[in-house]
Amino acid sequence: MDKLQAMKTFVRVVEAGSFSAVAHESDATQSAVSKQVAALERALGAKLLARTTRSLALTEEGARYFEEAQRLVAEIAEAEGALRRGEQQLTGWLRVAASVGFGRLKLMPLVRSFLAANPDVKIDLRLHDGFIDLVEQGIDVAVRLGELRDSSLLARRIGTTKRVLVAHRSYLRAQSKGTKGTKAPAAPQDLLQHNCIVYTEVAMRSAWTFTAGPGAPEPMGTQRTVQVEGNLQTNSSEVMRASILSGMGIGYSPEWLFDKEIASGELQRLLPDWETVTVPIHLVSPQERRHSAKVKAFADHVGKAMAPG
């Protein structure tokens, strides 16, 4: 059995709604089309279609398989077409995933400019702060911040970002005027006297690490990790951002999440003489998307926009 051909036949049967329609368009007999689908079901060990004398219906397993098979067949057709034409056409849906904060603040402007340059492409943008399985969710390309855990993915490093220690001026003012008269932290261990907002979707969570720079009171390169505490932790980058901007506490966050507020002075960057953790930024895709013209074009667009300088 030619499994790819059988998959294509199954997809067309579902799309057309009958074996006879596919038999007519492919100049084959209805029996031959039916046998291809039956052979595919045997190879998969699952019933894909529930057949009656008048209609066809997808089984639960068939519905799941159809969604993935339709996408794979489309990707293969796109790659084959590009090779035949000697060019890459950008059409159809592109499923993109990112964290909520990065997607809203950094990716959306690039999505807008990419769609403007490629009017035949449609983007399904899915924002989620937790880890998602790209294959299971049918994602074509995703932005991942931090070290990659899944080596089976196709990865392209598009930049880095530093975590920064920040607090709103209203929080620092309230602390200095409080009953304890707490000053802004001058060294990592001073964070133990402050309310720290913890983001739970990273490995470090409440273990914040700093390295002494040229202006630090300790020898350059000295590393300090502080187990901070606070009255709020969250798995949402948007909640973390809002809580820090409202003066609820100190955050240890990617610089891009607050670059405008830091530049304007609304947020104060703390411990400037201590180096913070550098976080890589990657675009990742499942292996089966390696021939996708849309994925390559989108990766090039985002990579160029985020390149330093």
Instruction: Answer yes or no: are the C-beta atoms of 129 and 240 closer than 8 Å.
Output: no
CA distances from 37 to 51, 76, 127 (A): 12, 19, 36
CA distances from 249 to 64, 172, 194 (A): 45, 9, 7
Instruction: Answer yes or no: are the C-beta atoms of 186 and 274 closer than 8 Å.
Output: no
Give the span between the Cα atoms of 79 and 76, in whole angstroms: 5
**Amino acid at position 251, single letter:** G
The full length of the chain comes to 309
Give the residue among 128, 166, 175 at the shortest CA–CA distance from 243. Answer: 166
Give the angle 264-268-269 at the CA atoms, nearest 5°: 110
Domain ranges of the chain: 3-85, 92-147+282-306, 161-279
Residue 44: both structure tokens together: 């998969």
Give the span between the Cα atoms of 76 and 61, in whole angstroms: 22
Q: Looking at residue 87, what is its pLDDT?
A: 44
Instruction: Answer yes or no: are the C-beta atoms of 80 and 87 closer than 8 Å.
Output: no
Q: What backbone phi and psi angles, to 5 degrees, belong to 73?
A: -60, -40
DSSP 222-259: -EEEEE---SEEES-HHHHHHHHHTTS-EEEEEGGGSH
Per DSSP, the three-state class of 24 is helix
CATH of 3-85, one of 3.30.1330.30, 1.10.10.10, 3.30.360.10, 3.40.50.1220: 1.10.10.10
Convert 95-111 to b/e letters by CB count within 10 Å (16 or more is b).
bbbbbbbbbbbbbeebb
Q: Looking at residue 86, what is its pLDDT?
A: 39
Domains 3-85 and 161-279 in one fold: no
Instruction: Answer yes or no: are the C-beta atoms of 172 and 178 closer than 8 Å.
Output: no
Q: Looking at residue 2, what is its pLDDT?
A: 85
| DSSP class of 215 | T
Give the N- to C-terminal CA distance of the chain in Å, as an integer.
Answer: 53
Question: In the beta sheet, which residues pair with residue 94?
Answer: 123
Give the span between the Cα atoms of 122 and 96, in whole angstroms: 10
pLDDT tens track, the chain, 309 positions: 688 888 999 999 888 888 888 888 888 888 888 899 999 899 989 899 987 766 788 899 989 998 888 888 888 877 666 655 534 568 888 999 999 999 999 999 999 999 999 999 999 999 999 888 888 888 999 999 988 876 788 999 999 999 999 999 999 999 988 766 688 999 999 999 999 999 998 888 999 999 999 989 999 999 999 999 999 999 999 999 999 999 999 999 999 999 999 999 999 999 999 999 899 999 999 888 877 889 999 999 999 998 875
Per DSSP, the three-state class of 96 is strand
Q: Looking at residue 30, what is its pLDDT?
A: 87
Look up the CATH number of domain 161-279.
3.40.190.290
Residue 138 gets the label, from left (phi > 0), alpha (psi -120 to 50) or beta, of left
Please count the other Cβ atoms lying within 10 Å of the Cβ belonging to residue 220. Answer: 12
Q: Is 92-147+282-306 in CATH node 3.40.190.10?
A: yes
Helical spans, DSSP H, in the chain: 3-16, 19-25, 30-44, 60-85, 100-102, 108-117, 134-137, 169-177, 237-245, 259-264, 293-306
